[in-house]
Amino acid sequence: MAVGVFDSGIGGLTVLDAVTRRLPDLPLVYLGDNAHAPYGVRTHDDIFNLTCAAVERLWAEGCDLVILACNTASAAALKRMQETWVPKDKRVLGVFVPMIEALTERQWGDNSPPREVAVRHVALFATPATVASRAFQRELAFRAIGVDVEAQPCGGVVDAIEQGDEILAEALVRSHVEALKRRMPHPQAAVLGCTHYPLMESTFQDALGDDVKVYSQANLVAESLADYLIRRPEMQGTGTESKFLTTGDPKAVSNKATQFLRRRITFEAA
């Protein structure tokens, strides 16, 4: 049994770490499509094709269930994959819904009509493709009314992280937060809508100020996966070995992942 975790690059490792803490005995196969990152500046067709290819690679590892630990793929490709492409015996799940359920104080599967919630002014930080998809606003509108969302496309941040340039990533995060605050001076909550951004979470929090609650997805996704596997234990697949795969250069990706996650991670070629 193994579950697949996919991201365009190393950002999904933030989700993988949280899943490992929550489900320590579950083998996980991680695939980073580093050769094609960042996805956030690509067209939706391109993101769909790349994500399908990556998911097929994880199915070949015995992972019948694949988590798209990538908001860009979840926003731009997941709905189309589920509707037109995923076979009946496989599952592909995204990272958007657990975050929105937390923000709107809902349990899994609560399909009651949208209602007012505590939070009213939300800042969304995500890649240009995720912001353009408006998937966050669409999912939110199913569950909550009266929430004002200001979205900031954070161009360059994923690139800087993928290049291992923490100083540039930090400067870009600060300038994106400033740009957002010019349009929404006092957000109550900020959503880090890209799995790379928790790697810069302290910079986001610092630039936003202590009174802004920063929602980051990793623990929410881990919790929702644990819950899903209780309901669907047969989706744990046939793979038994944990591993880290990349379409990029394994040595360079291992070094970057080790730098950002602050523990040794060794990738092999996908």
Nearer to ligand DGL by C-beta: 7 or 64? 7
Of 85-144, binders to ligand DGL (CB under 6 A) are 127, 130
Per residue, the 3-state secondary structure of the chain, as one string, reads CCEEEEECCCCCHHHHHHHHHHCCCCCEEEEECHHHCCCCCCCHHHHHHHHHHHHHHHHCCCCCEEEECCHHHHHHCHHHHHHHCCCCCCEEECCHHHHHHHHCCCCCCCCCCCEECCCCEEEEEECHHHHHHCHHHHHHHCCEECCEEEEEECCCHHHHHHCCCHHHHHHHHHHHHHHHHHHCCCCCEEEECCCCHHHHHHHHHHHHCCCCEEECCHHHHHHHHHHHHHHCHHHHCCCCCCEEEECCCHHHHHHHHHHHHCCCCCCEEC
34 in contact with ligand DGL (CB under 6 A):
no
Q: Is 72 in the site for ligand DGL (CB under 6 A)?
A: yes
194 part of the interface to ligand DGL, by CB under 6 A = yes
Size of the site for ligand DGL (CB under 6 A): 17
Q: What positions carry a catalytic annotation?
A: 70, 194
Minimum CB distance to ligand DGL, residue 102 (Å)? 16
Give yes or no for residue 247 binding ligand DGL (CB under 6 A): no
Assess 40 for contact with ligand DGL (CB under 6 A).
Answer: yes
Please pick, from the candidates 135, 196, 246, 267, the single residue that binds ligand DGL as defined by CB under 6 A: 196
Residues 250-269 that bind ligand DGL (CB under 6 A): none
The reply to whether 51 sits near ligand DGL by the rule CB under 6 A is no
Q: Which is nearer to ligand DGL, 72 or 219 (CB)?
A: 72
Stretch 146-165 residues interacting with ligand DGL (CB under 6 A): 158
For the CB of residue 62, give the shortest distance to ligand DGL in the complex, in Å. 24
Residues binding ligand DGL (CB under 6 A): 7-9, 11, 37-40, 70-72, 127, 130, 158, 194-196
